[in-house]
Structures are given as structure tokens and as C-alpha cells.
Amino acid sequence: MGVLINKDTKAIVQGITGKQATFHTKQMVAYGTQIVAGVTPGKAGQFVEAEGKNGEAVKIPVFNTVAEAKEATGANASVIYVPAKFAADSILEAIDAELDVVVCITEHIPVEDMVKVRRYLEGKKTHLIGPNCPGLLTTDEAKLGIIPGYIHKKGHVGIISRSGTLTYEATFQLSNAGIGQTTAVGIGGDPVKGTDFIDALKLFKDDPDTLAVMLIGEIGGNAEEDAAQWIKENMPDKPVAAFISGRQAPPGKRMGHAGAIISGGKGTAADKIKALNAVGIEVAETVAQIGATMVDTLKKHGIYDKCHTC
């Protein structure tokens, strides 16, 4: 089943006529995603051609606005490939169109812009993933974003990650270990974003196909500590394994993401690992041990046989 997107999701690509957007649109269509429309102001009437999962030709119409695209196609999701200075407005446009899911790939969006977006989201129906994220992928059903599909294997483990590349690494290791996935959710590494760990954990808690969760965190902020406490109080029946990147980061040093910075003696890898261990969550010592740590967790909780698919 998975969370947020599936084979029935109908998606719009905002900024579809850009080089990167066109490339990834073709990848999403080839994976089996229903990309039903694109949006680029001033380009209405054009088409983007792609090849579907079974080799069929797919012709995607371009509209001037998200509202027009939704009305014409019945779309319920969007993925945004728009330059940073226009991205916040693109997110707001998708929220106003009342789409269920909006994924924003764009990085370097000003924090002030995202503060306004986050406030505007309050009380709205839209789930925003990102910005500065790799997107979503529900195995063998649909993907929105830039996550490579070939590394995924159908199964029962959900993945939540602040890091794009570590999303791929975790997935690859799990698949190689015979542990399939329901949905991978790349929440992004910016300090202000639409979906955090707890938001994603709630979705996986309610998904009957997801039997366990892999949580990939990093230094900076207190999201992992908050997630650990939430798991203890709300999700005792679904085991979680984790990895925290940035163990060697010096205080005050930004490591890759805008949110990955240690300050005031808080947000260290040690703090996060301690909080996770305190509620019974095993944390991989190194990147190379992510898959093995998940396998160990599944065995300890007696569900390895249910999750091992080969």
C-alpha cells in the first residue's frame, strides 16, 4: 500500500518545460507514475512526450496554471521543479488548488519564503514534502521526484530521511539484504519544511503494509530527539532502526544541508543517538551498516521472515 502516493495518483509537474524537469518527468513516467499534466506559465498548448512503463507513448499537456491543469485532468498531486526565487509561489499555487500531495525538489529557497509557506499550510489539506528533497517513491507504483527506481524492492519497510543520497544508500542496502520497502519519503534537510519525521511516522503507523521503519537523520535541530519520544509514546508495535550522519562534524560547522549545523552545544549526533537508544532504537554505527542494522532490528522483533522477500 505505502503512503502518500500510489498507482492511482495523478500528478502535475510544475516547471515541466525546464531541462531538469523534462528529464525527470520522463523518468517518473517510465517508472509507472501517472503524470497527467505539466504547468509552465505562457507555455499552455505545448506537450511533453515520454515513454511509459510498458513502452507506450505518453503525451503530457502543458497548462498555464495548476488550477487549469487540475480541472482538466483530475490531478491530486504535484512535483515542483521551479527555480528558488519562484518556488514558494509555486507551492502556494498548488496548496490553493487543494492538491493532496505537493513535492518540492527545489533547493536554496529563502528561509523567510518557507516560513510564509509553512504558516499558509496550517489548516490546509495538502501534504508538502520538501523543499530541498529527493521526493517520494512507493515501490512499483509511483514516484514523484528524483529517487532512482531501480534500487527499490517491494516489501514492508518504510524509509524516512533528511538526506537524499542516504535515502538511496539505505534503500540499496535494504534491497540487497532482501528487505523490501513500502514508501521512501525524502523529507529534505532544510530547517523549515513541510513534513518532518513525526508527520511521516504518523503515516507509516497507520499503513498496514509497513511493518517497520528506517529513520535516517543528521546533525542539527532536535527533530530526531522529538521523533524518538513520539515513537516511544505512539508507535510501540512497529520497530524502528536508524542512522545519524555527521558524527565527526565540529561545532558550528555546517555540513551540507542548511539544517545540519550544530550550535549552542545542541543538535549533535551523540545527542540524537542517545535519545534514540534510550527508547530502544538501534542506530547504525556507520553508513555501511544501515542495512545490517535494519535486519538485526527485524530479527529482534520477530518479523524478519515477514519482511525478507528473497
Q: Which of 152, 156, 257, 301 is the catalytic position?
A: 257
Q: Do 70 and 161 reside in the same domain of the chain?
A: no
How deeply is 212 buried, as exposed, middle or buried, from its count of CB atoms within 10 A (0-12, 13-18, 19+)?
buried
Helix axes 197-205, 223-234, angle to 10 degrees: 20
Q: Tell me the average pLDDT across 11-27.
A: 98
pLDDT digits (tens, 9 = 90+) for 273-300: 999 999 999 999 999 999 999 999 999 9
- For residue 252, the domain's CATH number is 3.40.50.261
pLDDT of residue 220: 84
pLDDT of residue 132: 95
Three-class SS of residue 136?
strand
Q: How confident is the model at residue 253 (pLDDT cuts 50, 70, 90)?
A: low
Catalytic, 257? Answer yes
Q: Which residues contact 63 (CB under 8 A, 6 or more apart)?
A: 37, 38, 39, 44, 69, 72
Q: Do 214 and 303 reside in the same domain of the chain?
A: yes
Domain annotation covers residue 134: no
Number of compact structural domains in the chain: 2
| Average confidence score pLDDT of the chain | 94
Residue 127 DSSP label: E
pLDDT of residue 45: 97
H or E segment to which residue 117 belongs: helix 111-121
CA distances to 5, 76, 202, 203 from 1, rounded to whole Å, are 9, 17, 15, 11
Query: How many angstroms separate the CA atoms of 270 and 266, rounded?
Result: 10
Q: What is the 3-state secondary structure (H, E, C) of 228-294?
A: HHHHHHHCCCCCEEEEEECCCCCCCCECCCCCCECECCECCHHHHHHHHHHCCCEECCCHHHHHHHH
User: Hey, how many other C-beta atoms are within 10 angstroms of the C-beta on 302?
Assistant: 9
Amino acid at the residue 259: G
Q: Tell me the average pLDDT across 57-76.
A: 98
pLDDT digits (tens, 9 = 90+) for 74-111: 999 999 999 999 999 999 999 999 999 999 999 999 99
Q: What's the domain range around 101?
A: 10-129
Q: Do 158 and 298 reside in the same domain of the chain?
A: yes
Q: Which residues contact 18 (CB under 8 A, 6 or more apart)?
A: 40, 81, 82
**Minimum mean pLDDT among 28-42, 128-142, 166-180, 238-252: which range?**
238-252
Write out the three cell numbers for 175.
534491497
Q: Do 165 and 296 reside in the same domain of the chain?
A: yes
Q: Do 66 and 182 reside in the same domain of the chain?
A: no
HSE toward the beta carbon, residue 84, CA cutoff 13 A? 9
Helix axes 164-176, 290-300, angle to 10 degrees: 60
Percentage of residues in the chain having pLDDT higher than 70: 94
Q: How confident is the model at residue 181 (pLDDT cuts 50, 70, 90)?
A: very high
- For residue 99, the domain's CATH number is 3.40.50.720
Q: Comparing C-alpha atoms, which of 19, 67, 59 is closest to residue 39?
A: 67
Domain boundary among 129, 163, 179: 129
Q: Do 88 and 125 reside in the same domain of the chain?
A: yes
pTM: 0.94
Q: Which residues contact 163 (CB under 8 A, 6 or more apart)?
A: 186, 189, 216, 218, 245, 256, 257
Does residue 251 carry a pLDDT above 70?
no
